[in-house]
Amino acid sequence: MPISSTCFQSTSLPRNAWSHVINSVGMFAASIKNCPAVWSRTGRSALTLADDYLTLSAMPAASPLSTQRVYYSSTYVRLLFDYLSEQGKDAARVLGEARPPEDDRGLTLYASAHWRRLLECAMRALDDPLLGLHVGQRITPAHLGALGYALHACRDAGAALARWQQYEHLIANVARMEVRVEATSVAIEWHDAPEPLGPLVDEVALTAIVQFARNITGTHHGPDEVCFVHPSPGDEQPYIDYFGCPVRFGQPVNRLAFPLHLLMQPLRQPDDALLQMMERQASALLAELRQTDDLEQSVREAVARLLTQGEASLEQIAADLHVSSRTLHRRLAELGLNFRILREDTRRRLAIDHLNDPRLTLAEVAWLLGYSEHSAFTRAFRRWTGESPQQWRSRQPARAANVARG
């Protein structure tokens, strides 16, 4: 789901506004009256539960993973395979690939473009324009791995939100998430995705969040407002019916706003022992993920530097990192990474970044990516996105203007 690289920004509410918030929730520790309205990951403050009081307290922060690396975990991707099976479909045949391995603990990562393609294949096979709504409603703790079971075992929704903040990178790294307190509501927003995720990806994610919250609280409580960045599909009624609130399309950010008092909603099956066990597992998985991320980021940075000198081969990258090509290949393999796939994905990301700069010609973009001929770049870009660089750029005039450098 789109919940990643949490980096909360700090703003302040007037004292009287905080009094209103405290009254709405019921019991806040007195110490939060002068705290920021948006919880800052920099300050390592988070929403958590202590002695039955909803409070802001020190909590281990989820260190940001690579901003270059945009992914969804295999546990989350299995949600689509399960949904297709429920519909009587051979998921592997429909999607053209095998189900993610059950024993990988969620450490097999899917690029966001890959996840989007899988959803599009399923939508065509089922002829279901509302696939995002339908898939998201099938979410279970298993589809969120250790984090899902940790959330399920929390005492209340506020404590679950705190764990989500801490371990979100186990599920996805796609956008910067902000949690904002606004008078009587708490809003969750996703900002600065490095690439368009698409309607299906966003609809699955926001639906899954709402459905999971309903599942673990045993209520049908819903948000006060749902916002999507993509345009209206035309018939908005199915969205209004499911979410039970105004649903707005074509908005600046994807957003969910909930009544603030819901943070105190008890969960159905609190289990402190299970929570502690799942948190230990989640912390260990995060450590493995960061180890993978460190090497992957180093390789991506080296590829970006060396592309203009040619193909950025394994041998060239290994020399740049001061290891042998055999050692680099072995270390990547141990972490489940493939050099050629990594180089291709880095090129794709750089291509989108360069195309966002209106000062660069297509020929210059091709050169920066290590292509000796413009036609080779065009073929590669069509393979990545289904359209030519010129077509992609022509559809992004506002986007290009916003990110133009200089």
Burial of 200 (0-12, 13-18, 19+ CB in 10 A): buried
Residue 253 reports pLDDT greater than 60: yes
Q: Which amino acid is at 70?
A: V
Structure tokens at 102: 């059950």
Span of 203-212, 248-257, 292-301, 394-403 with lowest mean pLDDT: 394-403
Global pTM?
0.65
Query: Looking up tokens 């949904």, which residue turns up?
Result: 83
DSSP annotation of 81 reads H
- Dump pLDDT digits (tens) for 102-159: 888 888 888 888 899 999 999 999 999 999 999 999 999 999 999 999 999 999 999 9
- Dump pLDDT digits (tens) for 348-395: 888 988 888 888 899 999 988 988 888 999 999 988 888 899 988 887
Residue 290 reports pLDDT greater than 90: no
> Which pLDDT score, from 0 to 100, does residue 68 have?
52
- Dump pLDDT digits (tens) for 157-186: 999 998 998 899 999 988 888 888 877 899
- Dump pLDDT digits (tens) for 98-111: 898 888 888 888 88
Structure tokens at 222: 């819903």
Domains of the chain and any CATH numbers:
1-270 (3.90.1520.10), 285-403 (1.10.10.60)
- Dump pLDDT digits (tens) for 222-252: 899 999 999 999 999 999 999 999 999 999 9
Size (the chain), residues: 406
